[in-house]
Amino acid sequence: MDAFLAHYERNKLYYSQEDHLDPRMVRAIEMGWFVLAKYYNMTEEVPVYAAALLLDPSRRAAYIRQNWPDAWVQPAITAAMQLWEENFKMMIYLHPHQYHHRKPL
């Protein structure tokens, strides 16, 4: 999602410049940005996206710190850790045949 937002930002700037001015393209970018922002904001409610970034060796917490607003960083990391503790931490102590007895997410 971060890549899409960066793409929208670059192209809005490009099509807003006098040399490449295209009001219809700017409006289309704004509408796409609006829809993407709606779903991007939902990632705050569910820490799975942050957890996926933290578990991805090419991303980790450094990616979140670099690309997300400062106000989102610690809450996202905390929520992802809480998700792991509540749903997955005990799995390291369970035998594989016991997994099906866990409550669903």
Query: Mind listing the pLDDT tens digit for each residue in 54-97?
Result: 999 899 999 999 988 898 899 999 999 998 888 877 776 666 66
**How far is residue 44's CA from residue 42's CA, in Å, rounded to a whole number?**
5
pLDDT at 30 over 90: yes
pLDDT more than 70, % of the chain:
85
Nearest to 1 by CA among 81, 60, 64: 64
pTM of the complete model beyond 0.75: no
On whether the CB atoms of residues 77 and 61 are closer than 8 A, the answer is: yes
Q: How many CB atoms lie within 10 A of CB 80?
A: 21
Mean pLDDT of 35-49: 81
Give 103's pLDDT tier (boundaries 50, 70, 90).
low
Q: How far is CA 22 from each of CA 4, 10, 53, 96, rounded to the nearest angstrom?
A: 20, 14, 35, 58
The C-alpha atoms of residue 74 and residue 65 are separated, in whole angstroms, by 9
